[in-house]
Chains A and B, each alone.
Chain A
Amino acid sequence: MHPAVSVIFFTVTSGAGFGLIALIGLGWPMHDGPLSAFLACALAGGLAVAGLLASTFHLGHPERAWRAFSQWRSSWLSREGVLAVATLALFAAYALYWMLTGQRAMPLGVAVAVLALLTVISTGMIYASLKTVRQWHSVLTPLSYLGFALASAMPLAAAIGTDRSVRTIVLAAGVLAVAWLIKLAWWRRARASEFMPGSDTGTATGLGGIGKARLLERPHTGENYLTKEMVHRIGRKHARVLRLIAGGAGFVAASAFLALALVALPGIFLSLAFASLIAGLLAERWLFFAEARHSVSLYY
């Protein structure tokens, strides 16, 4: 699949944003005072909104984006939109209440957190629900989105919050490790099966019964929407480099910064952990798209 920058940016940042919203909703200890409350909530909401805004760049008709809320009964994209808006709305209420009263409304916060995590899951489900991309079509996809949303939110929460205890940082490191374990499982599975079980050029054309089928000529000599959007192919070397960046920045460096945060300058190192994790996730997400093989490539 074509790795569109807007979508990569959207999934990574909105993941972190909704993760942070969830953590705040669950009562992550933050500095007192309306200003701090505002800053924390603005950061969380801002990340989520920035991601959502970025995703509209991907649309042919952003001015009609509101229509996307209508099909929540069947469409994960619609659900994601609805959930995101609901989350942000409730979160706004939560934030307002917090700023005004200095109190964190626990039941509301839990609801916000649940919605935020559901939003992240539904982002993952947009991809996981597509049978056409076998690598995505797995429960591991929303799990990994969830994992990375929390994993990226935790160092950020710790960096801006008041709890920088060993326990918390170790927990963040633990979540990061779990998220990467999910991703490793995802990668393993992805490598094992390019297309739906049984799908190949033979089933795509129905000609498999006669013999080995292969494409001789594309229908048109130039590119088309499908080849640009879905028949993207990346070089193996390229992929290996990106995987090293993803793992290096997103796990090795991020864990190292978390470890350093235990020793000194926790604010700075937690922030660095967050930044390197985001950098790693951008690479991870790039691969998520670029390496995915859509069944339409069986025709091209």
Chain B
Amino acid sequence: MTSLPRHTEKKLGLVIDLDTCVGCHACVVACKEWNTGGYGAPLADADAYGSHPMGAWLNRVHTFEVTPPDAPAQIVHFPKSCLHCDNAPCVTVCPTGASYKRSEDGIVLVDESMCIGCGLCAWACPYGAREMDPVANVMKKCTLCVDRIYNENIPEVDRVPSCVRTCPANARHYGDLADPQSAVSMLVAERGGMDLMPEMGTRPVNKYLPPRPKMKAASEALPEAVPGFLGWLDRALERLG
């Protein structure tokens, strides 16, 4: 494969904490509002007020139910956007070169002016991270807010992806996953950050932190006060003086 950079200086990406995500969709809408007026064509919403509204979104939150063998079922809210894969099949299948991966930071982008809207990259992405814009007919995907993270027109603290900045539960972290000392890399190491569908060989940059094990109802109980509640009360009051 000649068309993916063999090496990227940085691997900028997101770390998403499934233990903390409350499924509020804040990141979903913040992404939409930043990007619809930003990089490339607007993220259109077809039939916006009609019977079949359908828009392009770069980030969506799914809800899964997981039933462990020996505990009650639990719900995991699951945000998903482009994982900026190292071995991005969406890039190599693209016939026009519109899809590319930046060698400096690993961000996977679509150059919309070159895109013919064939859809093949979306077919090649295992994760459903690409959506065709219903009006502009070009491929849309998470830009990792490339027009924010380096943007000198906004304050330095705000040079993070829109979804990260807004997440009320702090379940989204952004940083350089190529740097083992970065906060995100350390988080991944500490919490066992995982790849989605590793069997696809895409080597995603984005990582997911698994939900921490839920506590089962312990059988501990409080020992009864001795000698009985009223006796305890007398003694305790005595201690108060």
Contact = CB atoms under 8 A, between A and B. Distances in A.
| A contacts B directly (C-beta below 8 A) | yes
Given A212-B67, A230-B123, A223 B54 contact: yes
Contact of A75 (B52, B92, B211): B92
Interface string A216-236: 111110111110111000000
A76 B89 CA distance: 12
Contacts of B131: 224-226
Interface in A118-133: 126, 129-133
Interface string A65-85: 101111101111110010000
Contact of A205 (B76, B97, B117): B76
A299 interface: yes
Nearest to B137: A60
Interface stretch (A26-34, A192-200, A250-258): A192-200
Interface in B24-77: 28, 52-57, 60-69, 71, 73-76
Interface in A188-219: 196-199, 201, 203-207, 209-219
Contacts of B96: 64, 67-68, 70-71, 78
A219 B117 CA distance: 24
Contacts of A74: 1-3, 91-93
A217 B97 CA distance: 35
A295 interface: yes
Nearest to A133: B123
A78 B92 CA distance: 10
Interface residues of B, number: 68
Nearest to A64: B116
A296 B65 contact: no
A62 B93 contact: no
Contact of A229 (B52, B80, B119): B119
A237 interface: no
A61 interface: yes
Contacts of A130: 89, 93, 123-124
Contacts of A199: 197, 199-200
Contacts of B174: none
B180 interface: no
A218 B69 contact: no
> Which of the listed residues B65, B126, B136, B210 has the most CB atoms from chain A within 10 Å of its own CB?
B126
Contacts of B76: 205, 207, 213
Contact of A299 (B80, B91, B132): B80
A294 interface: yes
Contacts of A129: 93
Given A68-B118, A74-B3, A77-B95, A217 B62 contact: yes
Contacts of A69: 95
A300 B57 CA distance: 15
B134 interface: yes
Interface in B126-144: 126-128, 131-132, 134, 136-138
A139 interface: no
Given A206-B210, A230-B128, A58 B67 contact: no
A185 interface: no
A68 B95 contact: yes
Contacts of B73: 211
Nearest to B210: A206
Interface string B199-233: 11100000010110000000000000000000000
A59 interface: yes
B63 A215 contact: yes
Given A61-B116, A205-B76, A205-B196, A226 B64 contact: no
B94 interface: yes
B167 interface: no
A61 B196 contact: no
B82 to A, nearest CB: 13
Contact of B3 (A71, A209, A210): A71
Given A58-B118, A77-B95, A299-B62, A222 B52 contact: yes
A123 B73 CA distance: 45
Interface string B83-115: 000000101111111100000000000000011
Interface of B: 1-3, 18, 28, 52-57, 60-69, 71, 73-76, 78, 80, 89, 91-98, 114-120, 122-128, 131-132, 134, 136-138, 194-201, 208, 210-211
23 contacts: A59-B117, A60-B137, A61-B116, A67-B95, A68-B96, A71-B97, A77-B93, A132-B126, A133-B123, A199-B197, A199-B200, A201-B64, A206-B208, A212-B67, A213-B66, A219-B62, A222-B53, A225-B54, A225-B131, A230-B123, A295-B197, A295-B200, A296-B126
Given A77-B95, A197-B199, 6 more contacts: A61-B115, A68-B116, A131-B200, A201-B64, A222-B53, A230-B123
A-B pairs with lowest CB-CB distance, top 6: A60-B117, A60-B137, A219-B60, A211-B68, A296-B128, A78-B95
